[in-house]
Amino acid sequence: MKQTEQNIKVWDPLVRFFHWSLVLAFMIAYITEEDFLVLHSWSGYFIIALLLVRIIWGFIGTRHARFSDFVFPIDKIKFYLRDIFTFKAKRYIGHNPAGGAMIILLILSLLLTTLTGLLVYGAGEHAGPLADWFTSASGDNEFWSDVFEEVHEFFANVTVVLIVIHVAGVIYESLLHKENLVRAMFTGYKKKDI
């Protein structure tokens, strides 16, 4: 698909790669948990790398990839959510205020999930980049491993809840504006006008 009078390029290749790679990596990490620790850990490392690239891209990337395009004041998010429930929500070419807020929440939740995952891996398995913190430290590593694991699982589950809300929002917006947002995240294009 290419840009025409009817279509406009919205999502650049890096944003689309990030999105679908993150979906796959998080699914693998969530499904494997402790049963396949090596695969789980490498999925977590990949998620960290994706997040770091996306955060950088949020400052230097294309127009609709930049945080400045989709981070809105709280009042604007509240008004947008109100408009959603009254079926009057304005269409945005990039992320709408609720979608932008969801992106930030997902990034934060995933950062906390992966950080606590690194702590669990270091304290419980004496492996990973934080292992030295726990092998040279005196104290009860098993206690800290259990604490970090609980926090890690909590944020992983928070992320799942956010994903469910995100998917529901995408479906709702697609129906409200008669526009296939999933296809747009594959092709990179949206209709100029609806």
| Chain segment 58-95, per-residue pLDDT in tens | 999 999 999 999 999 999 999 999 999 999 999 999 99
CATH of domain 7-191: 1.20.950.20
Encode pLDDT of 99-113 as tens digits: 999 999 999 999 999
- The stretch 13-31 carries a mean pLDDT of 97
Q: Is the pLDDT of residue 166 over 70?
A: yes
Q: What is the pLDDT of residue 3?
A: 56
The pTM score is 0.91
* Three-state secondary structure call for residue 190: strand
Token pair of 70, please? 């989709």
Token pair of 95, please? 């992320």
The answer to whether 27 and 163 are in contact (CB under 8 A) is no
| Average pLDDT, rounded, for the chain | 91
The answer to whether 90 and 96 are in contact (CB under 8 A) is yes
Share of the chain above pLDDT 90, in %: 76
